[in-house]
Amino acid sequence: MSPTAVQALILAAGKGTRMKSARAKVLHPSLGAPMLEHVVRAVTDAGASPVTVVVGHQADAVEAAFAGRGLAFIRQEPPLGTGHAVQVARERFAAQPDRTLLVVNGDLPLLRPQTLMAMLAAHRRTGGAATLLTVELDDPGAYGRVLRDEVGGVRAIVEEKDATADERRVREINAGLYAFEVPALLEVLGKLKPQNAQGEYYLTDVVGLLRAAGKTVGAVKVEDPREALGVNTVAELAETTRLLRLRRAEALMAAGASIEDPATTHIGLDAVVEADAVIRPYTFLEGRTVVRRGASVGPFARLVDADIGPDAQVLDHCLLRECVVGAAAMVGPFAHIRPESRIGVMAKVGNFVELKKTYLGDGSKAPHLSYIGDATVGPGVNIGAGTITCNYDGTHKHPTRIEAGAFIGSNSTLVAPVTVGEGAYVGAGSAVTEDVPAGALALGRARQVVKPGWAAARPSAARGGADKKSDAGSTPAGALGGAPHSDADKVSGAGFTSAPRKPRED
């Protein structure tokens, strides 16, 4: 069957009462994507087109979540059962009577396209009016039971609530996936009656009606029964998510990625881990995150839309969002990289460093305790511990530029907008409010004052030690009186007391 010969209808109008949640069931996330997303991808990857979704409960929210995806929506208000859901979409699929119709329950996030394709292949082989997917379960629970005739043909589906004790013992269940020939379906669809325990129009009754009309209905047994797990409760959703997590990790490991602990590693549907990259335990890779060859991430890291270059390392407890980390760069532990940041090749961002909308040049380092926001940092820059870019004046954000090879001494505040020129130095503890020309040294701090013998001369010292009642650090009035503060304005080489290390050295 050519892929273009299939159209799909996804049933997603139900309230999901058993979730006990205000949110529409199909919007509950599994592995970072709404349940419905998994189903949409499976039918699309199986080649179905067009794809129509029947919505009802919280229809606006469901439509909004899937806007712009090329899906058609049909409203079923109020939802009167799965058969009714197909009835309200009748005009839609009747418009393309030659295309086999896949009908899929929206609560099957574990569904794989391969399974749909196997079902479609069987449907084409047997040439029946309908083919359904069934599973043998040790505990068939609340699923619809598949009833077979003497020669093994599918005769009917009976819902658990309507089944006799004998029928309930049947272990083959209806997975909630069907392929229909449209003309045959249209012949019987109008005959559904809500005369059952739930007072609903059951799609499953179509099977018996087709048989009564002399048509054949085929069935394909799915190999992995877990794939047919319909999600009806929050606990079932958690189990499904666990299985999806393992499945995603297995696929990446098969292609050469190292996932140290698949059970605690979340890798979203669109996240990619290349061969020879290592993902350490308790790590979350979300959105369009890519971890490239030889890179390692974690443990306990969360990456959202991050691109981690080859051989880069993101160490323990980092949060990265919408950023690019260059090849062989090092980030963390405990780093926070915020959107629109870019870390250069072999650059280093260390512990308790936050970057926001910042470009950190190749080989540059911000190893400890810094906030760098709205900044452009050239290559080979060393940013000392405790450096803060003051990018916000209470109303507007302003940029900071630190040019190639500059050195920012520890505990400096760079008050933006400001530029530190190429190869310039900023002395430790400076508040830099004016641009620093290339090659210059800037000092923006009070000069240290030293009072020789001051401690012994303290009035309290004469009484035999510190006055325990006075505030810690307070000095007797007058002790500093007349201190030559004017000296502090004199900038000299001596003001830069410890010799600056060369940039690029740690």
Active site residues: 368
Q: Is the Cβ of residue 107 or residue 172 nearer to Ca ion in the bound state?
A: 107
Of 162-170, 198-206, 250-258, 338-346, the window that binds ligand UD1 (rule: CB under 6 A) is: 198-206
Residue with tokens 């998510």: 241
Partner from ligand UD1, Ca ion, none binding residue 143, C-beta < 5-8 Å depending on class: ligand UD1
Partner from Ca ion, ligand UD1, none binding residue 405, C-beta < 5-8 Å depending on class: none
- Do 196 and 80 contact (CB within 8 A), yes or no? no
- We find the least distance from the C-beta atom of residue 113 to ligand UD1, in angstroms, to be 18
Q: Of the candidates 30, 52, 115, 204, which one interacts with ligand UD1 according to CB under 6 A?
A: 204
Q: Which two tokens stand for residue 504?
A: 């690029």
Q: Of the candidates 105, 240, 283, 389, which one interacts with ligand UD1 according to CB under 6 A?
A: 105
CA distance 105 to 174: 11
Partner from ligand UD1, Ca ion, none binding residue 76, C-beta < 5-8 Å depending on class: ligand UD1
- We find the least distance from the C-beta atom of residue 100 to ligand UD1, in angstroms, to be 19
Question: By CB under 5 A, what part of segment 357-386 binds Ca ion?
Answer: none
Q: Is 66 in the site for ligand UD1 (CB under 6 A)?
A: no
Q: Using CB atoms, what's the residue nearest to Ca ion?
A: 230
Site string for Ca ion, 196-235 (x = CB under 5 A): ----------------------------------x-----
Cis status of the peptide bond prior to 97, with omega within 30 of 0:
no
Q: For 236-390, where are the E strands, in sequence order? A: 258-259, 266-267, 272-273, 278-279, 284-286, 290-291, 296-297, 302-308, 313-314, 319-325, 330-331, 336-337, 341-343, 348-356, 359-360, 365-373, 375-377, 382-383, 388-390
CA distance 52 to 428: 64
Partner from ligand UD1, Ca ion, none binding residue 79, C-beta < 5-8 Å depending on class: ligand UD1
Site string for ligand UD1, 139-158 (x = CB under 6 A): ----xx------------x-
CA distance 295 to 285: 13
Q: Which two tokens stand for residue 304?
A: 């959202």
**SS3 at position 188:** helix
Q: Is 14 in the site for ligand UD1 (CB under 6 A)?
A: yes
Sign of CA dihedral 147, 153, 155, 156: positive
- We find the least distance from the C-beta atom of residue 56 to Ca ion, in angstroms, to be 15
Question: By CB under 6 A, what part of segment 213-252 binds ligand UD1?
Answer: 230, 232
Q: Which two tokens stand for residue 324?
A: 């690019």
Q: Is the Cβ of residue 14 or residue 423 nearer to ligand UD1 in the bound state?
A: 14
Q: Is the Cβ of residue 23 or residue 458 nearer to Ca ion in the bound state?
A: 23
How many residues does the structure list for the chain? 506
Question: By CB under 5 A, what part of segment 96-115 binds Ca ion?
Answer: 107
Q: Is 405 in the site for Ca ion (CB under 5 A)?
A: no
CA distance 51 to 34: 17
Number of residues that bind ligand UD1 (CB under 6 A): 29
Residue 189 has, within 13 A of its CA and on its CB side, a CA count of 22
Q: Is the Cβ of residue 229 or residue 360 nearer to ligand UD1 in the bound state?
A: 229
Partner from ligand UD1, Ca ion, none binding residue 426, C-beta < 5-8 Å depending on class: none
Residue 297 has, within 13 A of its CA and on its CB side, a CA count of 35
Query: Helix count (H) and strand count (E) of the chain?
Result: 11, 37
Q: Which two tokens stand for residue 371?
A: 């906030």
- We find the least distance from the C-beta atom of residue 84 to ligand UD1, in angstroms, to be 5
- We find the least distance from the C-beta atom of residue 272 to ligand UD1, in angstroms, to be 30
Q: Using CB atoms, what's the residue nearest to ligand UD1?
A: 144
**SS3 at position 418:** strand
CA distance 417 to 433: 8
- We find the least distance from the C-beta atom of residue 361 to ligand UD1, in angstroms, to be 52
Question: By CB under 5 A, what part of segment 107-166 binds Ca ion?
Answer: 107
CA distance 362 to 343: 7
Q: By 3-state DSSP, what share of the chain in percent is helix, strand and coil, each rounded to 5?
A: 25, 30, 50
Q: Is the Cβ of residue 143 or residue 282 nearer to Ca ion in the bound state?
A: 143
- We find the least distance from the C-beta atom of residue 124 to ligand UD1, in angstroms, to be 23
Q: Which residues bind Ca ion (CB under 5 A)?
A: 107, 230
Residues making contact with ligand UD1 (CB under 6 A): 11-14, 54, 56, 76, 79-82, 84-85, 105-107, 143-144, 157, 159, 173-176, 202-204, 230, 232
